[in-house]
Structure 1
């Protein structure tokens, strides 16, 4: 029986940390589905618009070899619906979210992957814009 893995992210200013989480998520199953945060969701979550538009971020993630399907994540509250819609067997999130999604273990396996050390989209954006 093929295993479907689902993961979520903004994937703004795409970097090697993003690539590694996608590769590691894909290795946990046979099919990888990726939810890319909507621009409006990112604004609510982080208080700023993404550098790259929703359409651009979807195109970048969809072009990656390990990714089988992408969709727009409209709301954090719909995670269970997305898991069920795509019949996901495994939910993969970064370990910065450890424990936050354990409630979904009744419908799928929940795996928290360690983040790539010293790589942060926010830090990259601040560095590029001349911040800290």
Structure 2
């Protein structure tokens, strides 16, 4: 059984998230997803998520093909998570290209292309702009 692990914030879920999870699942038999905690996300991006870590975990857990979900508390623990969950493959978006190559001694590392034209940041900007016109 091939175990695939991936990580992300998965806030304001969109088709890009779904597609990367589907492509990750297609690489193995068991898909494990690490959800960035609210604290980790804030430390990375200096902004709050729209949905709480508990809501994001529940949302991702409900997606077909996702077998296991956990909270990622620290970027520095990725290697520990790979070992703990027995991952054979680490999948990340290609916007992270090369940044996780250090884990190639623990598992295969695959960077998948992001979905063209889809960005959480852009979606949120569009929502803010639309809500301003209605205010």
TM value normalised by structure 2: 0.95
Deviation at 1:129, TM superposition (A): 1.1
TM-align CA RMSD: 0.8
Runs of 4+ in 1 over 3 A off after TM superposition: none
Is residue 2:15 matched to residue 1:16? yes
| Whole-Å separation in 2 of the counterparts to 1:129 and 1:52 | 16
- 5+ long unaligned stretches in structure 1: none
| Whole-Å separation in 2 of the counterparts to 1:113 and 1:23 | 11
- 5+ long unaligned stretches in structure 2: 131-135
Larger helix percent = 2
**SS in structure 2 at match of 1:130:** helix
Is residue 2:125 matched to residue 1:126? yes
Is residue 2:48 matched to residue 1:45? no
| Whole-Å separation in 1 of the counterparts to 2:124 and 2:74 | 24
Q: How many residues align?
A: 130
Which has the higher Rg, Structure 1 or Structure 2?
2
